Amino acid sequence: MYTPLENLEEWKADALKALRQTLDRRSFMRQGLTALTGAAMYGTLLKCFAGTHVLADEPDVPKSAVKTGTFFFPRLKFDVLNAHSGWNVYPIADVILRRTLTKLTNINVSEEPVVVSLADMKSLVRYPFIFATDERRFRFPKNEEANLREFLLRGGFVYGDDCIHGRNKILFFEDYRRMMNRIWPDNPMRRVPDSHEIYHCYFDFPKGLPYLQGQDIGGWGTFDKQSGRLLTYVTPTDLHCGWTCRFFTPKLNEASIKMGINIIIYYLSH
């Protein structure tokens, strides 16, 4: 039943007084700014995923995916030569990729940020998937290289992405290749063909690795001689900067995230 307020003016005055007491001008400005920033970021993210079908065909997104297991997305901490190391550049990229994984796949992804080191084999073996990135030259100590070899042979997987020095220098990529060829001299890194499963296992990339910046020479990998499985995969196109959705066009940002998902699906299924 509707009951009209008799003292409406009095009620309005009380409400305004209570509002003034809880919200002064400074806090209003601060909260307003936060809300605007949030809205802007949300808008950017929305743009990231606003329908583009140029680089990859999107599969049906599961509405109520059942999730099992726990997938961690750890970063490899390492030193570069004659410079500040940049292994920890843009952690927001990992956050966005993890959240997108949760949203677009049924993989049970842990939100927990994890950092591992090749020197610490004990903690390394807890995370069979490792992400490594930088833009400088590097060379791991011998024991770390040995650990890396052991880690990969035990079934671990390292995904390396060159953060690109300048606009097109792929120093990290080159050193990564050099290192892998040192570890397996009789099984050098090869370009992963565009028909490889890594480009088709979830999202379809008919033209292979999407190019953002750096060198358009595709992704390279070391293949297991017995099973043909990729032991490690490295990209010279700054994919992870695409995940941040800050530096490239929405189309490229989206393609980079999709390619990131493909790499993880490939790892988990092979």
Partner 1 sequence: MFETLFKYPMKLFEEGTIRFSGPFQLELRIIGIIALALVVIWLYRRAPQRVKGGKKWSLAALRIIAVGLLLLILFPPVLETKETKTDDRFVAFLMDDSRSMTIEDASDGKTRLEAAVKVLAGKSGEGADGAFSSVSEVCGVRMFGFERELARIPDIGALKAEGDATDLYTAVRGVDEEMRGVPLAGVVLISDGNHNGRGDPLNAARLLAARGVPMYTVGLGDPTRVADREILAVQAPRTARRNANVDIVVTVSSHEYTDEFEVLLRKGDRTVATRVVTPASASDIQRVRIPLMLSKEGSHTYRVEIPPEQGEKIVDNNARDFRIRVKEHRLPVLYIEGSPRTEFRYVRGAMVKDKDFRIVSILRLGGDRYLVQGAETDPELLKGFPKTREKLFAYEAIIFGDIEAKEFSKEQLAMVEEFVRKRGGGFLMLGGVNSFNRGGFVGTPIEKLLPIRLASKSVRYDHREFRIKAATRGLTHAVMRQHDDPVTNNNIWNTVSPLIGRNPVKGLKPAATALMELLDTGEPVLAVQNYGSGRSAAFTTGGSWYWRMNRKIEDQLHDRFWKQLVRWLAVGSKPKLSIELSRDIVSLKEPLKIKATVLGKSLEPVNDAIVTAHVEDPFGNSEEVSLEWILTEDGVYSGRVRPREEGEFTVTVKADTGKDNAPLEAKVTFTVAQSPIEFSGAWQNEQQLKDLAELTGGKYYTEKDVANLAKDIREHIEKDVHRNQEYKARDLWDMPALFVILTVLLSIEWLFRRRSGLP
**Which spans of this chain sit near partner 1 (rule: CB under 8 A)?**
59-63, 65-71, 105-108, 125-126, 128, 150, 153-156, 201-202, 226-227, 229, 264-265, 267-270
Identity of the residue, 138 or 233, whose beta carbon is nearer to partner 1 in the bound complex = 233
| CB-count burial class (<10 Å; 0-12, 13-18, 19+) for 64 | exposed
Contact criterion met (CB below 8 Å) for 264 and 110: no
Identity of the residue, 76 or 170, whose beta carbon is nearer to partner 1 in the bound complex = 76
Smallest gap from residue 219 Cβ to partner 1 (A): 20
Identity of the residue, 9 or 60, whose beta carbon is nearer to partner 1 in the bound complex = 60
Pairing of β 129-134 and β 157-162: parallel
Smallest gap from residue 225 Cβ to partner 1 (A): 11
Identity of the residue, 95 or 125, whose beta carbon is nearer to partner 1 in the bound complex = 125
Smallest gap from residue 202 Cβ to partner 1 (A): 7
Smallest gap from residue 116 Cβ to partner 1 (A): 12
Identity of the residue, 156 or 219, whose beta carbon is nearer to partner 1 in the bound complex = 156
Identity of the residue, 176 or 266, whose beta carbon is nearer to partner 1 in the bound complex = 266
Smallest gap from residue 40 Cβ to partner 1 (A): 31
Smallest gap from residue 248 Cβ to partner 1 (A): 27
